[in-house]
Structure 1
Amino acid sequence: MIIPVVFLAIVFIILSSTWFKLHPLLGLLLAALGVGIFAGLPIDKLTDTIGKGFGELMSKIGLMVILGCVIGAILDKSGAAIKVADIILKLFGEKYPALAMSVIGAIVGIPVFCDSGFIILAKLNKIVAKKTNRPLGTIAIALSGGLFATHTLVPPTPGPLSAAGNLNLSHHVGLVILIGLVVSVPSLFLSTWFAKNYARNLNIIEDKEDNLNVAHVSKLPAGWKAFMPIILPIILITVASFGKILHLDESLTKWLNFLGSPLVSFLIAIFFSFSLFPEKPFEKIFACFKSGIEHCGTTLVLVGAGGAFGAVLKETPLKDIVSDWLMANQTSGIVFLLIAFLVAAFFKTAQGSTTTAMVLTSGILAPLLVAMGFTEPFDLTLLVMAIGSGAMTVSHSNDAWFWVVSQFTGLTQADAYKTHTILTGLQGVVSIITVCVIYLLYHAF
């Protein structure tokens, strides 16, 4: 009974805003209440569950969104975004801005949550679009596709890293990284092609307070200073992630984890950004805080609402139903990879979180590995890739990633479904096809 209820809830979430013109917050909350009631969750605890889900996701991503907005304002007001855009376009040539943004996204998406990466680079999207005379939709969707390609497939981001741990691959993370990079390449090029062909004529809602003017800074900062607010958090997060993998000294690891947390790494980047303002740095940084905080309110609300819906689903017997079905319908080989893909896609589409989908699916599949003949590290790595491919499919309005891309780009919700949601689905399909081809070639020789 719960599966059709979840399916109808997802349909309602989409139609409530696109067809019935309800505010997305209202649609998500009504869907969460409906699923909870029909699933038989205790009525006296249902609202507490919704509030807890909202708060938990906000605790994970809320400050990151706010500080990311501040960094975006710093990049804009200091002229750093213009300088970064100039350097990137010189490297790739102004003829290939979409490919440039996809590649940048893929690199940043390896150590950093795609949400964080997009927030930091959102201002860069607008600068690149203006300087190359390309549609903002094309540039933004190319960046989001590049970020997502590696975020779900390449450790040390938590999703693939957790799945690798659940499938007994903790000592083979290097192999998971290598295969993840290979599998992500087709998805990367797909995002570039899709952005160029299907995100050109989007109705971008312009921020009236964001008067982008590439000539508003008389003297641009040095290249290394311009990249610092972007690169510094990435370096700190990357070092912290690999510190865990390499099992460094415990006290050192604690400090690396502290410095590499999104909160602290973003604050450090903001602190070093004072050097971007030669005159009145404190006054200008304060103005950046004011501007950044004012621009992220709606995004925070919608992100929290998606977390509330996901929290209700976690209280239902959904996981147990899927687990029981798999135990009763054992199979082997490439079919098992496809089943892993479908299960992860179901959890992703239902509750929104890519990381949660990968953790749930890998946890369900772990007891079945020996029976399915998946014992070699290479086969298990491909299983992680299959799960990651499913966890791409699809990002819609119950996913924080959906709101970050749409709100920071200025996409209408309908256009976000037509581009962002469809692209994440296509990326998942292309990735699982790549995984299956690798599996067949490996076992053919």
Structure 2
Amino acid sequence: MYELLVLLILVVAIVMVTARLKISPFLALVGAAILAAFAYRIPLADVASTVTTAFGSTMGNIGLVILFGTMIGVILEKSGAAISMADALIKVLGTRFPNLTLSIIGYIVSIPVFCDSGYVVLNSLRKAITLRTGVSGLATSIALMTGLYATHTMVPPTPGPLAAAESIGIADNLGLIIAVGLPVAAISALAGLAYASRFNKSQWTPLPSDDHNDISELDYEQLRASFGKLPSPALAFMPILVPLVLICAASIAKLPSHPIGEGTALEILSFLGTPVIALIFGLISSTFLLSGGSKLAVFNEQMNEAVRTAAPILLITGAGAGFGAVLAASDLTTILSDSLSGLGLGLAVPFLIAAALKSAQGSSTVSMVTTSALVAPMLGSLGLDSELGMVLAVLAVGAGAMVVSHANDSYFWVVSQLSRIPVITAYKTLSVATAIQGTAAFLTVLVLGAVLL
């Protein structure tokens, strides 16, 4: 009971200091790790090494993956590639089904680009489609928001799923996570889309605009013009498709049946499909999107921005791993295993913990990092210690990390303010939408678990 009480106090403390006092989640997690080590009576000589070893191991395993993925995302955002991809999808899908079009665009764009940035870049497109089709702006906002959110929490190389995969111990098989995560995220996005369609004819009064200089306030054609000549759709999609294809192809090649044999071809494809190598090729392909007088200067500037964006995520991920290592070294894991083994909760445990942390402190990434560190030692007792079980655990964490987005979440404010949705309306619609899509994702994971585990 003492160990569980300590864990509860630490989790509440992490939430309070990050949400109320606005202290960095990195510092909160490091502090929680040290306090946990003292509370669980880990030998003083082992405290620092337990935290730093886990931190270093995590950085070694996924640090470069997160960094290269962020670099690709920044280039896609700054080059206008996201707009080019959106234009290409509109040509294929048309504007007959505006909500579906926006949901699919968001679903694809958010695989490498943060959902917040994706919404900022695509908001002008959303407004243009809204005006062109006469559908309520509330409906198109929800459709784009939920499409972006689905892959943001469930499909690598977004940092949250990567961090969860590393903590849970399945980071060496990202291809399987992608293969399972994409359809689960699609069902999640479809749930959000169905909810968005309820508001097609909704009558509501948008808030007045306060910022006439923001990129999101540009007319769509003005936004397109601001990027100059847009890259071709083929070049725009390449930085996403190259690493995904390489990672998935390597996973297929390494199946027990060895579909391409066991010789040099397998060795080469396994190398190319290593996440770091695959993302390096994705980054190389993204350099064809660069434009301007000095491409090298533009590249260096965007890489510096990517490093600044990735740095806090890397630190939070490493600190979460250190916190998890302390918990794993204590008696807590045995107590939790004994307590949970007979309850048959399985996948509900990572989902509920992630949902509680997400609702309490706001950040989906912090929720995924913390939850995966907490549940990793329990996988055996939850019946999730197989390779597929660990993949489903990552997706259950991702589903919980969507439930729910509200006032303590930056994404809630990005969507509500750019779409000029009043706060009370945003609570009734945006927050509900994330609850629906997160629950739909979890139910899908549950069905997969019942069939496959």
Task: Report the TM range for the smaller structure's normalisation.
Answer: 0.5 to 0.7
Structure 2 contact 153–399 (Cα < 8 Å) conserved: no
Give the corresponding residue for 1:373.
none
Give the corresponding residue for 2:330.
316
Give the corresponding residue for 1:68.
69
Q: Secondary structure at the match of 1:391?
A: helix
**Superposition deviation, residue 224 in structure 1:** 0.7
Give the corresponding residue for 2:285.
272
The answer to whether 1:263 aligns with 2:257 is no
The answer to whether 1:352 aligns with 2:369 is yes
TM-score by length of 1: 0.66
The answer to whether 1:249 aligns with 2:266 is no
Q: Secondary structure at the match of 2:225?
A: coil
Q: Tell me, in whole angstroms, the C-alpha distance in 2 between the residues paired with 1:441 and 1:3.
A: 32
Give the corresponding residue for 1:363.
380
Structure 1 contact 84–226 (Cα < 8 Å) conserved: yes
The answer to whether 1:90 aligns with 2:108 is no
Cα deviation digits, residues 337-362 of structure 1 (max 9, x gap): xx212344477669836766786555
CA RMSD of aligned residues (A): 5.3
Q: Tell me, in whole angstroms, the C-alpha distance in 2 between the residues paired with 1:46 and 1:95.
A: 60
Cα deviation digits, residues 359-418 of structure 1 (max 9, x gap): 65553355999xxxxxxxxxx98x78975664346339xxxxx99x969x7999xx9xx9
Stretch of structure 1 that moved more, 224-233 or 97-106: 97-106
Give the corresponding residue for 1:342.
348
User: In the comparison of the two structures, how many residue pairs are matched?
Assistant: 392
Amino acid at match of 2:126: T
Structure 1 contact 149–427 (Cα < 8 Å) conserved: no
Give the corresponding residue for 1:333.
none
Q: Tell me, in whole angstroms, the C-alpha distance in 1 between the residues paired with 2:126 and 2:87.
A: 10
Give the corresponding residue for 1:13.
14
Give the corresponding residue for 1:399.
none
Q: Tell me, in whole angstroms, the C-alpha distance in 2 between the residues paired with 1:316 and 1:50.
A: 13
Runs of 5+ in structure 2 lacking a partner?
128-136, 200-205, 358-366, 403-407, 418-422
Q: Secondary structure at the match of 1:363?
A: coil
Q: Tell me, in whole angstroms, the C-alpha distance in 2 between the residues paired with 1:368 and 1:75.
A: 37
Q: Tell me, in whole angstroms, the C-alpha distance in 2 between the residues paired with 1:9 and 1:65.
A: 27
Any residues of structure 2 matched to 1:18-417 within 5 Å, and which? 18-93=19-94, 99-100=100-101, 102-103=103-104, 117-119=111-113, 123-133=117-127, 139-140=144-145, 142-148=147-153, 186-192=187-193, 213-245=223-255, 246-247=257-258, 248-249=261-262, 251-277=264-290, 280-326=294-340, 329=342, 336=344, 339-345=345-351, 352=369, 360-365=377-382, 387=393, 390-392=396-398, 394-395=400-401
Over the matched positions of the two proteins, sequence identity in percent amounts to: 25
TM-score by length of 2: 0.65
Amino acid at match of 1:217: F
Q: Tell me, in whole angstroms, the C-alpha distance in 1 between the residues paired with 2:153 and 2:64.
A: 21
Structure 2 contact 350–372 (Cα < 8 Å) conserved: no
**Superposition deviation, residue 228 in structure 1:** 1.4
**Superposition deviation, residue 7 in structure 1:** 1.9
Amino acid at match of 1:252: A
How has the CA–CA distance of structure 1 residues 80 and 428 changed in structure 2, closer, same or farther, with 3 Å as cutoff? closer
How has the CA–CA distance of structure 1 residues 65 and 283 changed in structure 2, closer, same or farther, with 3 Å as cutoff? same
**Superposition deviation, residue 36 in structure 1:** 1.8
**Superposition deviation, residue 16 in structure 1:** 0.9
**Superposition deviation, residue 220 in structure 1:** 1.7
How has the CA–CA distance of structure 1 residues 193 and 17 changed in structure 2, closer, same or farther, with 3 Å as cutoff? farther
Q: Tell me, in whole angstroms, the C-alpha distance in 2 between the residues paired with 1:81 and 1:367.
A: 37
